[in-house]
Structure 1
């Protein structure tokens, strides 16, 4: 079987399938370190993804995996980190929130100890785990799902599904980040309005402090905008003043694969072979990766 797409969704799905004994190849247009997944801030939290009832189950299933992986942070790139979602309220969240360990109301929002994933390190670890399970990864662009030579094809192409399926319901939501030297911040902080184009978040990673961000609908530009970067630093420095003097290390841009609802379903190809779609995860691919991967694997090989 072949999994199309080598970001967090594609690699996680391939790992689940390979460890279930399936012969899996991943065909990806570019290496994992160049995907949108590699740019992501890496904080576990359902963000800009629908439908919420399904998302909650996928997210909680993934949370359990990340909590286990966080016992080996140097190997997996996953750590549990304390922080606050400023302005968030429990009564505004779905039923899933009641099952997040130690998620609690505090004076300025919701506090929790959540997984923070070093995405470049985690993607490399996933790829290695896949290979150890007998899987393969090949940089190879797919232009026609029906032409992929496998009895089962799993489409995890993310934003690429817009032209590959084709599915015009998939659209980009541009995210720009700034990475700075960490002045000693050990907790994450978010001040996010899910309907706004600008937000404020601070996420400590081993390689620096991630500052965000933006959520610009239908914007395809991958070039960092200097004015946007300055605004991001300014917003983050307003909540953590020590950030103002931090040296900038990098600018990053990624295009989230947004859709009104995640597409996770099985469909026949014209010749009767199986096609499983697993795309449209918006800004929460890492948050739901394991839950969606297990459901996709079940769709690819349904129980008799």
Structure 2
């Protein structure tokens, strides 16, 4: 019997890892995704899904992962129009005197004319991948299934209890990762609320994560425009707050007036897996081989393929 591998979690990290493992064509490998939520029920489905590092570790290792993911998304956009990934132009607004621009090493960016920006702000215009998650997550699952990955809806509370069925377990459970392993209390859920509205002809994204009134992003997907958002460490409520929603719409409309009066498409809340550093490593002392893969903050989609590559390298 070959190596039996379980991936816990069907969000963008778990699916990307399963797809990367399945693509290795290692003889005898048997891969199963264990999930208590379908992909479109996960926090990944709530994500704005713009390739941009947000609320995640800053390091040379992560920079390399950013590049890996960017190249993969550019290729997917070119080769798989049904995947829901598009290259979008847009503006990243900066409000700090010395803005962090390390991410620009990965792609081209140019200075924005001050007349297009809020008073006192600087900004960069760039083109970056943006995923319509209602299309991308099902596509990614289908990619896994086409390569023999099985999906099993199963709630997992004890990783070691899987030793009878699996030789290797990869924990890609997002905000639950530390609790599930029982050895990591450093994961802090970061509540994020969004509202999705009709497109209204909006084609460019706007990101203003240093806005003094609160986080702002306007992300035109294929099916809607995602308006955000909030960044609430330690908050775990999953009900949308009407007052918060109204404030999000006001902040976004102030930057993109064309949004005024836009019909609401849907609304959602997700819990980002906040952690000072990513945890991508083998976990010793378990009943089988265990690999942790969580702590991506607000950069799950952005780091997904880089994470998958690192996990596969550990297993290989």
Q: Which of 112, 124, 132 is equivalent to 1:106? A: 112
Q: Which of 277, 294, 301 is equivalent to 2:292? A: 277
SS of alignment partner, residue 179 of structure 1: strand
**Matching residue of 1:159:** 175
SS of alignment partner, residue 186 of structure 1: coil
Structure 1 residue 268: Cα displacement? 3.0
**Matching residue of 1:19:** 23
Pairing of 1:179-218 with structure 2 (within 5 A): 179-193=196-210, 198-218=214-234
2:189 is the counterpart of 1:175: no
How many residue pairs are counted as aligned between the two chains?
A: 298
Query: Structure 1: any 5+ residue segments left out of the alignment?
Result: none
Pairing of 1:68-79 with structure 2 (within 5 A): 68-72=75-79, 74-79=81-86
2:310 is the counterpart of 1:295: yes
SS of alignment partner, residue 150 of structure 1: coil
Distance 2:158 2:73 in 1: 34
Label 1:274 to 1:130 Cα distance change in 2 as closer, same or farther (>3 A).
same
Distance 1:2 1:249 in 2: 36
Is this contact kept in 2: 1:89–1:109, CA < 8 A?
no
Structure 1 residue 90: Cα displacement? 11
Query: Structure 2: any 5+ residue segments left out of the alignment?
Result: 114-121
Structure 1 residue 85: Cα displacement? 0.2
Label 1:89 to 1:56 Cα distance change in 2 as closer, same or farther (>3 A).
farther
Distance 1:197 1:261 in 2: 27
Structure 1 residue 245: Cα displacement? 1.3
**Matching residue of 2:11:** 7
Compute the RMSD of aligned alpha carbons. 1.8
Is this contact kept in 2: 1:82–1:188, CA < 8 A?
yes
Is this contact kept in 2: 1:49–1:261, CA < 8 A?
yes
After TM superposition, the score normalised by the length of structure 1 is 0.93
Distance 2:124 2:243 in 1: 30
Distance 2:80 2:97 in 1: 29
Q: Deviations over 1:132-181 (max 9, x none)?
A: 11111111111111111211111101111132112211111111111111
**Matching residue of 1:58:** 65
Distance 1:72 1:80 in 2: 12
Is this contact kept in 1: 2:52–2:103, CA < 8 A?
no
Label 1:73 to 1:20 Cα distance change in 2 as closer, same or farther (>3 A).
closer
After TM superposition, the score normalised by the length of structure 2 is 0.90
Q: Which of 251, 268, 281 is equivalent to 2:284? A: 268
